[in-house]
Amino acid sequence: MTICTPHSALLVGRVIRAGRAEGEALVSPQPIGFLGGVDPETGVIIEPGHPLEGQCIAGRVLVFPGGKGSTVGSYTLLRLAHSGHAPAAMLNARSEPIVAVGAILADIPMLDEIDISQIHTGDWVIVDGERVEIRATSKSKIQNPNLTIRNPQPAIHNPHSAIHNPQSAIHNPHSAIRIPQSAIRNPQSAELVFLKLGGSLITDKTREATARPEVIRRLAGEVAEALAARPGLRLVLGHGSGSFGHMAGERYGTRCGVSDAAGWRGFAETALAAQRLNRLVADAFWQAGVPVWSLQPSASACCRDGELVALDWRPVAEALLRGLVPLLYGDVALDEVRGGTIVSTEEIFAWLARRLKPDRLVLAGAVPGVMRSDNGQPQVIAEITPRRLAALSPLMDGAQGTDVTGGMLAKVRTMCALVEELPYLQVRLISGLEVGLLTRVLGDAGLEVGTLIRADAF
């Protein structure tokens, strides 16, 4: 399809990281290696002999065939975002994992399958979802004066990804706004989802150290099915400790702190209990064909008076880069004030979300969502926002069985605080007991089921 206009062109590509940005184009005919090739503190290309050597990529739409070099280049893009020198957007002829993961980590809009020959340094480029509009400026003229729409493999942006100001990048998450759910979606497009399997779902929380192996195996199969159906889907998987860690933690009061020898033995016992359940989950998912890599949170987690203040997230990012599914779980943690404590999977997810910027969180439990019982009949609360939380809190049902991390209300509060920080993010709580539902939810970000937690509209 051709629309004539003398000064612009419109291209359509495949979305790697959805968003909206605009800026002056900086075009390279050669691949770019970010580790050692770009100064992460200035955004200047420093690779000797590169066509763009000495050019600054900060705030510009960087157009290049693809990436090259070390996988650590993904972290260079993240450092560029932290220093305020990331490109506004990136366009590739064909992407590869280094740049793709870097764009996702740094929240930089990125497309590939773009005819980059139609873009020239100095053009003003607007990236919006899968669309790229090129406007000629006094610095550059588009060689083909026709407006050509190219879409050899249509890919539409994820409706839950962030639209952000290219200058704010990672520094100001409140600049993000959600794309409406009515936007057209492509199930093949890239999406990062955090998925938690609740302890009440995968264990019997009324009987100590009692797993539900048949439920775990079924959920593993549903996740494997979703990954097979959506090659662009990437998961960070977590699970609660259920009747393994929670009962041990309650016996010793580990969540409230550790102060004597008996308490430290209880701390270690709680950790071992959580690890035993994690091994059962890891084995089931591996046997189902899901390439999980179990990561022990307590190896790096540190809290301050019960609040998680440090956790090494780099192995999680590396797992995603390598095509693995990082697997985490509620665990013990050292605490600067309490000595030791327990951190929930939701708290770990919240920490990681601020750094990895997932598109959405899915919390699968043993109930259909967040339940209320103010009129004697339990019913699902369809939607919760931070402003509505205070009014809804007294109506919410509590935890099923032993839960030392505060039960459902604590989970909802953690998620409400998170969506206030990351307004583009949506959290959905669903039942993991409904056969096939998890596969459907992972396959369709707009599926209206369970409870949705989102930021308040402004």
Chosen domain end from 127, 150, 175: 175
Residue 420 lies in a domain: yes
Residue type, 390: A
What is the set of active-site residues? 70
One domain for residues 108 and 215: no
Domain boundary among 175, 205, 230: 175
361 pLDDT higher than 60? yes
Q: Are residues 294 and 159 in the same domain?
A: no
Question: Is 125 found in the same domain as 49?
Answer: yes
The whole-chain average pLDDT of the chain stands at 85
Q: Are 430 and 363 in contact (CB under 8 A)?
A: yes
Q: Where does the pLDDT of residue 152 fall: very low under 50, low under 70, confident under 90, or very high at 90 and above?
A: very low
Q: Tens digit of pLDDT for each residue in 85-95?
A: 999 999 999 99
- d(C-alpha 423, C-alpha 404), whole Å: 29
In the chain, % of residues over pLDDT 90 = 68
Residue 169 has pLDDT above 90, yes or no: no
CB atoms within 10 A of CB 349: 24
Are 328 and 433 found together in one domain? yes
In-domain check, residue 96: yes
The answer on 203 and 169 residing in a single domain is: no
The answer to whether the beta carbons of residues 451 and 371 sit under 8 Å apart is no
204 and 152 co-located in one domain = no
Query: Which residue has tokens 């030392």?
Result: 404
Within a domain: residue 401? yes
State the pLDDT at residue 305. 96
Number of domains, the chain: 2
377 shares a domain with 232: yes
Do residue 321 and residue 395 come from a single domain? Answer: yes
Confidence of residue 376 (pLDDT cuts 50, 70, 90): confident
CATH of the domain at 164: 3.50.30.10
454 CB-near residues (< 8 Å, 6+ apart) = 178, 383, 384, 385, 419, 425, 426, 427
What is the Cα–Cα distance from 32 to 37, expressed in whole angstroms? 7
**Does residue 262 fall inside a structural domain?**
yes
One domain for residues 100 and 199: no
d(CA 182, CA 209): 44
| pLDDT (tens digit per residue) in 414-450 | 999 999 998 989 999 999 999 999 999 999 999 999 9
Q: Are residues 288 and 335 in the same domain?
A: yes
182 within a domain of the structure (yes/no): no
Residue 130 in this model has a pLDDT that exceeds 70: yes
Helix or strand (DSSP H, E) at 247: helix 242-252
Residue 84 above 70 pLDDT? yes
226 belongs to a structural domain: yes
Is position 185 within any domain? no
Q: Which helix (H) or strand (E) holds 24?
A: strand 20-27
Domain of residue 94, residue span: 2-175
The label of the residue with tokens 């770019």 reads 32
The domain spanning residue 244 has which CATH number? 3.40.1160.10
Residue 404: band (very low, low, confident or very high) from pLDDT cuts 50, 70, 90: low
Examine the domain organization and report whether 148 and 196 are in the same domain: no
The verdict on residue 158 lying in a domain is yes
| Size (the chain), residues | 458
Domain boundary among 175, 207, 227: 175
Global pTM reads 0.63
In this structure, the answer to whether residues 75 and 197 fall within a common structural domain is no
